Amino acid sequence: MDRRNFLKQVAVWSSGVLLVEPVFRITPDLLAAETVSPVLSVGVGKNYASLVASVLQPLGGMAAFVKPGDQVVIKPNIGWDRAPEQAANTHPEIVKAVAELAILAGAKKVLVFDRTCNEERRCYMNSGIKPALDSIGGRQIQCSYVDERKFMPVTIEKGKSINKWSFYKDALEADCYINIPVAKHHGLSRLTLGLKNTMGVIGGNRGKIHRNMGQNLADLNTVIRADLTIVDATRILLRNGPQGGSTRDVKVLDTIVASPDPVAADAYATTLFGLRPEEIDSTRAAAEMGLGEMRLNKIDIRMV
Amino acid sequence: MFTITLRTFRRLSQLFFLALFFLLFRLTDYSGLDEIPYAVNIFFRWDPLVAATVLLSAKVLVSLLLPSLFVMALTMVFGRVFCGWICPMGTLLDGTGKVIHASAQSSQSLRPVKYILLGIILVTSLFGLQLVGYLDPFSLLVRGVTLAVDPVFNLLVTGFFDTLYQYAPQWLSNISEPVYGVLQDSVLPYKQTFFQLSTLSGCILLAIVALEKLEKRFWCRNLCPLGALLAIFSRFSIFRRFPKRACRDCHYCAPNCRMNAFDPESRQLRHEECTLCMDCVDDCVNQPSRFRFAVPEGQKQIDMSRRAFIGAGLAGITLPLLSKVDAAHTLPRPFLLRPPGAADGNEFLSRCVRCGECMKVCIQNALQPCFLESGYEGMFTPRLIPRLGYCEFNCTLCGQVCPTGAISSLSQPEKHGFVIGRAVFDPARCLPFADQSPCIVCEEHCPTHDKAIKFQEVTVVNRQGKSVALKQPYIIPELCIGCGICENKCPLPGDSAVRVLRAGKQSEEDGFGYGG
């Protein structure tokens, strides 16, 4: 191999690192969704699988979000090594139901993951989410652990507080991103809902986000704006969040909230705790940035 | 042409146990269940040397170690078959011997060393000083593989596939990634681990292997104290080579013996040095030599002089005395945290055989080998270093794999209440105190119920002169168990602003403890 050939090979094989880091922009029309009242659907029921389907009906069903051939990302909260009844993670039946609906709507692939706080294998297993998804079978649904290599630096153009952070490649590239947070108490932010759930697709030292949590979360959500947010409030954690640990802190509501507007979903879910939407910093910051609607009287709420 | 001989069976047995060893090593991990369903530590549990030293030093009969009676019985019937047919260290050395050929003339002068080492280990353990971890073949092997070989193996393989993934054209990584996936599910560890003393542990293992250059099975012939113990018991064994002598004028068996077990003068086989490898039976060209059941008779004394015997005894008494006056034991070690379920200080040290199983199984890579923090005799004992990894609240694996009960097997509720230390804040560095900025990542992660980390809502004037509302964390010592997740997750660079100090049972023996 001569020198010229060598240099050529080096150039070809290292082209990946030489590329400019990607910039993700949310198109202005998505950010300026103020003119039309966003639809938000709320349902109560004991059968969570059918409840998911009926809550999605007023929004046009799963087909309104997932197009045939789509690569879908479902982002539950799998952060903690806790059992479903302890209300620290999204309920496995809801995750399963959403995944199945996405497949029915024609999704080519459904990716389910979370960057966990406790050890990931324990979280995936004891949350019940991995066993629930594995029970569906087939190769379309992949419930896999986060692959450190897939975090890529992103310039957050709209960011007011942070302008650079690494994000998970699969989340950035998804054709349809479905956020399924569990609604629960949190010491610093008071509640953790949909906007906060986005922390599960970012890399780096996440503790730093806490220094200006509300605005930082809003900034992150300018990069990853969920196409659909389904808030799991089947049981909510009232104290000792975000990981709880005792069912004494858990209140069963059997409620699911869904909306294409992530801010509206958080705003409504906040009321389930007896709080007002503006009491949650991230909701307020996101609404100020035009990421969605937090005024309840401007949201088209449909009870099912 | 390939013919099946006795050697074939021996090799199959060696390969089987070597494969079993590595299989159990791989299974020493979280499997999706809270309990490990296999006896992954069986190599330690049937090791009579481990059983003997734990019995002597901790003065307890550990029922987990009862399988060692089986190996004793086996040895008393068949001699050192364990060394020749089972021991994975022996198998690795035999394998190495195929590549590295011994250059030096064999001599038998170093042979007594293993008996001396055995004597020292047994006598010191009688006085409560547990040194077996330095020389037990399985301790050396499991520790070496855990701390050095396995992490390096994973680093090489993942490094290769990561490079392809990042820089190779798409079509190539489309091929390499599925291959990588298969490897991850089979031979690779779940994730990359990092250990203190990785270089030292790797070098010790390398040195044992490199000794093959001097003599075949140099370690087994001259150094292995387990081999020495089995040698002593094999003197009673009734399965022996016949004839006892190597034939005059024939140079097959005696010079080729991997244990150099034939006496050069009398040509007689020293039965306790023989590992029954069957080479001399398979290769015999003269009269058919074979092994048969026979009553032991006319044996020589074991290859250890009276002076050496007394010397070993004296050394065994002196070492514990020296250890007693080692300042390492009087100096408080506030950051030396032991695993959950660990026995109190001295009992822990006398039971722990430094096997490395707990460090292998720890799912947060939090358990690390000590260096000299608790004296030289505490080297390679496990300690929790929260900044590297915290103790997972619901995990009880280290106690499950500990073969000697140095870390007792805890149920989940017992584990939730087991105090390994207590967290203490450093307000000079903690953000809500020192920087007037919000944080409480520690409170978010605190797993106990009720939370051991709580916060006070205060209004302070920050450096810009603005009045800000802040949540300042504090510890409730009665609730804190010292899992260290707060120290681990603290977002400050370098040292954490909350650190776990020794507390609970472990701190009583040195009179040091924070918060009761």
Chain A hits for B366, CB-CB cut-off 8 Å, are: none
Mean pLDDT, to the nearest integer, of A284-296?
A: 96
Closest CA in chain B for residue A211: B438
Query: Beta strands of B407-505 (E only): which ranges?
Result: 421-425, 453-461, 467-475, 498-502
Task: Provide the ipTM.
Answer: 0.92
Cβ distance of A207 and B441 shorter than 8 Å: yes
Cβ distance of B165 and A149 shorter than 8 Å: yes
Chain B hits for A213, CB-CB cut-off 8 Å, are: 438
pLDDT given for residue A18 in this prediction: 46
Cβ distance of A13 and B167 shorter than 8 Å: yes
Rg (CA), chain B: 27
Name the amino acid, one letter, at B381: T
CA distance B451 to chain A (A): 7
Please list the pLDDT of chain B residue by residue as tens digits (516 residues): 578 889 999 999 999 999 999 999 999 999 999 999 989 999 999 999 999 999 999 999 999 999 999 999 999 999 999 999 999 999 999 999 899 988 867 788 899 999 999 999 999 999 999 999 999 999 999 999 999 999 999 999 999 999 999 999 999 999 999 999 999 999 999 999 999 999 999 999 999 999 999 999 999 999 999 999 999 999 999 999 888 888 888 878 888 899 999 988 888 899 999 999 999 998 888 777 888 888 887 777 888 889 999 999 999 999 999 999 999 888 888 999 999 999 988 899 999 999 999 999 999 999 999 999 888 989 999 999 999 999 999 999 999 999 999 999 999 999 999 999 999 999 999 999 999 999 999 999 999 999 999 999 999 998 899 999 999 999 999 999 999 999 999 999 999 999 999 986 656 555 444 544
Q: Is B125 exposed, middle or buried (0-12, 13-18, 19+ CB in 10 A)?
A: buried
Beta pairing, strands A164-168 & A151-155: antiparallel
Cβ distance of B471 and A13 shorter than 8 Å: no
pLDDT given for residue A7 in this prediction: 65
Give the total residue count for chain B: 516
Instruction: Tell whether B11 lies on the interface with A, counting CB pairs under 8 A.
Output: no
Number of A to B CB contacts under 8 A, please give it: 80
Cβ distance of A119 and B30 shorter than 8 Å: yes
Contact (CB, 8 A) for A124 and A143 = yes
Q: Is A228 exposed, middle or buried (0-12, 13-18, 19+ CB in 10 A)?
A: buried
Q: Which tokens hold the place of A31?
A: 């950010």
DSSP symbol at A287: H
Report how far residue A170's alpha carbon sits from residue A213's, in angstroms, rounded to the nearest whole number: 24
Instruction: Give the nearest partner residue to A187 out of B30, B394, B471, using CB atoms.
Output: B471
Count of Cβ atoms closer than 10 Å to residue A256 Cβ: 28
Which of B171, B393, B496 should be substituted to probe chain A, the one whose Cβ sees the most A Cβ atoms within 10 Å? Answer: B393
Chain B hits for A125, CB-CB cut-off 8 Å, are: 32
Which of A9, A13, A213 should be substituted to probe chain B, the one whose Cβ sees the most B Cβ atoms within 10 Å? Answer: A13
Count of Cβ atoms closer than 10 Å to residue B194 Cβ: 12
Q: List Cα–Cα distances, A63 to A67, A89, A273, B160, in angstroms.
A: 6, 26, 31, 42
Contact (CB, 8 A) for B226 and B122 = no
Q: What is the pLDDT of residues A6-38, one digit of tens each?
A: 666 666 665 544 455 555 555 545 555 446 899
Closest CA in chain B for residue A248: B449
Q: Which residues of A have a CB under 8 Å from any CB of B? A: 12-17, 81, 117-119, 121-122, 125-126, 149, 186-188, 205-208, 210-213, 240, 242-246
**B319: Cα within 13 Å, side-chain hemisphere:** 23
pLDDT given for residue A13 in this prediction: 62
Chain A hits for B30, CB-CB cut-off 8 Å, are: 119, 121-122
Whose tokens are 């051939």? That residue is: A69
Instruction: Tell whether B472 lies on the interface with A, counting CB pairs under 8 A.
Output: no
CA distance B154 to chain A (A): 15
CA distance A128 to chain B (A): 11
- Entry pTM: 0.91
**Distant-in-sequence, close-in-space partners of B331: CB < 8 Å, separation ≥ 6:** none
Which of A12, A211, A215 should be substituted to probe chain B, the one whose Cβ sees the most B Cβ atoms within 10 Å? Answer: A211
Provide the CA B159 distance to its chain's centre, in angstroms: 26
Cβ distance of A14 and B167 shorter than 8 Å: yes
Q: What is the pLDDT of residues A188-231, one digit of tens each?
A: 999 999 999 999 999 999 999 999 999 999 999 999 999 999 99
Q: Which tokens hold the place of B482?
A: 């010292």
Chain A hits for B192, CB-CB cut-off 8 Å, are: none
Report how far residue B252's alpha carbon sits from residue A173's, in angstroms, rounded to the nearest whole number: 70
